[in-house]
Chain A
Amino acid sequence: MADIARRDLLTMAGVVGVGVAIPVAPATAEAAPKDKVQDGPAANASARCYQFFDLNEVAFIEAFVDHLIPADELSPSGTELGVTIYIDRQLAGAWGRGARMYLLGPWPAGTSQQGYQLPLAPADLYRSAIRAVEAHCEAVHGGSFDRLQPAQRQQIMLALSDGSLRLQQIPAQVFFDMAYANVMEGLFADPIYGGNKDKRGWRLVGFPGVMAAHAENIERFRGEPYLVEPLGIADLS
């Protein structure tokens, strides 16, 4: 894969500061250094239009998701599977804005057994946490999260996941746990939500999807592989 960052492509395309990605204009792309354009994921990038994440956040979340779900012989990267689009849509929608959460104060710190106690809806938590992680990366590594070496990124991810990374104001592990759960949702939820592209998440594990009349299959396939083309909600709608 190219080491070109998505941010660079968008900068080249002259759309810095615009919250949604605009297809890279061919003329602009030609003006860019050739090697970058040729192996840059321009086509894929242009297909991803974000509703919630801003340009810097896109760079972060794509790097974050692709660190968890890298492209390898088992699947394309999380970003290519639509996981970042899934998260973006969730954060832009009712869930991200705190639907079905009790968010009234006061908000004193609680014990871990008392669970989530921040005054933030998920979208606000992401925004604050990404800013805090980026500030840490700049301060410690002198660059943004998406530009770190894989080993440095792994170190950050581990420290986020075990809570040992001290972020300004935001508990790292609370953010990581939410984002990790969202990545898994984006990989395995029905494709109507924007992730699990081509049902690659389901194919990875062999989940057959929404067709599930197994009253006979449970005997016929007891102990035997049940191999079918997975179907999603859209396939039957």
Chain B
Amino acid sequence: MTPVWEIAALSLKVSLWAVACSLPAGIACAWVLARCRFPGKMLLDGLVHLPLVTPPVVVGYLLLAVLGRNGALGGWLHDTFGVSLTFTWKGAAVAAAVMAFPLMVRAIRLGIESVDRRLEEAARALGATPLRALFTVTLPLAAPGLISGALLAFARCLGEFGATITFVSNVPGQTRTLPLAIYTLLQTPEGETAAAWLAGVSLMLAILALATSELAARAVRKRLGRGT
């Protein structure tokens, strides 16, 4: 069995990459949903929420169908960039990112919606382009939502199981993250002690993530002058 710290490190790597890479898309999606009105908005909203309501195994299967070596996008990725997602930690990160995306978008959207639009108007009236207003007014003021969105997604990524095992299988050192390792150990005779250790580590990481989120949100709110 792989050492505990290696499994935890893999889980952290997968989750951090998943959050880091999906954050720009999450912010863009949240902004569009919070601030734009267009036909088909309901459709986008539904699409974003799909992983939340679909069984994770089904999401994993869909990812396999699209991003697998034989999938339309997966084949192209492999042929053009030589990138293969199947059975690698990158694939695990993709699965985690997709599963966590709805939670991330929801939290960021709430953060953006809490920003007074009149402040954005004031920024425009002072000569800011829409993009500058977004980066200098909307997003800084939506920071509490951004932080909670990122942390929520991070925690969701750490716990991701179903889509991962379906999409990229259970490869030690590549895709065997904490939940998959715990599952594997429970299937092994006398693996229960090790499983308990890993469960403890998972719990610790979750608490750490929560505490970080709370502290960061508090610091930001203080900076925004809103108190606690």
Is B truly associated with A?
no
